[in-house]
Amino acid sequence: MNHFLKLADITHPVVQGPFGGGISTPELTAAVSNGGGLGSFGLHHLSPAGMHATAEAIRRLTPGPFNLNLWVSPGDADASLDYAEMHRSVWLPMFAPLYEEQGVAAPSAPLAPEFSVEQQYEAILEIRPKVASFVFGVPPAAFLAHCRQLGILTVGTATTPAEALAIEAAGMDAVVASGCEAGGHRTAFLRPAEEHLIGTLPLIPMVADAVSIPVIAAGGIADQRGLRAVQALGAAAAQVGTAFLACEESGTTPAHRAALQRGFGEGTEVSRSMTGRLARFLRNALLTRLQGLPHLPFPLQSHYLAPLKQLARTSGDESWSPGHYSGQAAPLIRHTKAADLLASLVG
């Protein structure tokens, strides 16, 4: 039996990609776990109390194993800055023309985060999910040792063989190898993300050759052909994001889901313009409008584009949405229910 399936206690070699920032739902996680795959939930944006509430909601919907996902590096902004002063004198004036054009109210000054990654690690140890996965780095050794003692399987995310080696050296149990076709952020941590744009086809065999822990392939997999291809390249499982994002159980907007289901006319692009970190999006009017303009570090850029996110939610028009994420495989999407997608992947 596939070593990873045994470790994670799942039947099918499919991990539903976690979505951070409020797009994961307990319903999506549970649908995949109940179908024999590994459902995931991205909770980097949640406080420890929010993490506990989420885990309870998932456990009400499934007795199966699930994966909780955190970001090791939560932000790039300089915490020593006077946010109120910067808001008044620099940041707000940068975005004011956009708010005026789109007829949205400006946000108030950003606040320092109310919880730390260390507190989130503590919550993981208390919740004890079957699997905990991480992006943007390697968690501290003491925390990983504690996970091992408690039987929590830890999974890192690599965009190069060097990152996969760092994850294996830290004693993590498996590695997601994320090709640049993937939707969402490029989670590089050893070098700038722009230098880590290796595609899934070469990345998987390179990582499989470099490490001896199980490799989970991510990026561009949306149907059974993709799953079989990455298995042939040495992956123990596939992590599928965009195709699950398009399912009705995901927490994105109906308009975003519909755009993914339609495939895309304009294609996708990696950009720092929407969040301050490099991520892949469906092209829309906002991405074009922001092209070439300076951006703030994560998460400040997201804070200042939040009024447009809200506008997209209320208007049902994604043209100006900063959350219009997609991987390159969107045109391969054929399913609207997570259970149907999972069944079609594993055939």
Ligand X SMILES: Cc1cc2nc3c(=O)[nH]c(=O)nc-3n(C[C@H](O)[C@H](O)[C@H](O)COP(=O)(O)O)c2cc1C
Applying CB under 6 A, which residues contact ligand X? 17-20, 23, 42, 44, 69, 133, 135, 157, 178, 181-184, 218-221, 239-242, 245, 325, 327, 329
Q: How far is the CB of 241 from ligand X (least distance, A)?
A: 2
Q: Which residues contact 105 (CB under 8 A, 6 or more apart)?
A: 99, 307
- Phi/psi at 38 (5° precision): -110, 105
CB nearest ligand X: which residue?
Answer: 241
Nearer to ligand X by C-beta: 178 or 321? 178
Q: How far is the CB of 179 from ligand X (least distance, A)?
A: 8
3-state secondary structure of 221: coil
Nearer to ligand X by C-beta: 304 or 325? 325
Q: How far is the CB of 176 from ligand X (least distance, A)?
A: 6
Any idea what the Cα angle at residue 63 is, between residues 62 and 65, rounded to 5°? 95
Nearer to ligand X by C-beta: 35 or 184? 184
- Phi/psi at 53 (5° precision): -65, -40
Number of residues that make up the chain: 347
Nearer to ligand X by C-beta: 62 or 239? 239
Nearer to ligand X by C-beta: 19 or 298? 19
Nearer to ligand X by C-beta: 22 or 107? 22
Q: How far is the CB of 136 from ligand X (least distance, A)?
A: 9
85/110 Cα distance (integer angstroms): 11
Nearer to ligand X by C-beta: 18 or 161? 18
Q: How far is the CB of 100 from ligand X (least distance, A)?
A: 28
Q: How far is the CB of 134 from ligand X (least distance, A)?
A: 7
Q: Which residues contact 184 (CB under 8 A, 6 or more apart)?
A: 17, 19, 20, 241, 279, 280, 325, 327
Q: How far is the CB of 156 from ligand X (least distance, A)?
A: 10
* Amino acid residing at 151: G
190/160 Cα distance (integer angstroms): 9
213/207 Cα distance (integer angstroms): 10
Taking CB atoms within 8 Å and a gap of at least 24, the contacts of 311-315 are: 311/102, 311/104, 312/253, 312/255, 312/256, 313/253
**Are the C-beta atoms of 299 and 241 separated by less than 8 Å?**
no
Nearer to ligand X by C-beta: 42 or 214? 42
Q: How far is the CB of 162 from ligand X (least distance, A)?
A: 19
Distances (CA, A) of 255 to 86, 114, 131, 265, 290: 34, 31, 31, 15, 21
Which among 97, 53, 86, 21 has a CA at the least distance from the CA of 277? 21
Q: How far is the CB of 17 from ligand X (least distance, A)?
A: 2
Nearer to ligand X by C-beta: 98 or 230? 230
Measured N-to-C along each axis, helices 26-34 and 48-61 cross at an angle, to the nearest 10 degrees, of: 40
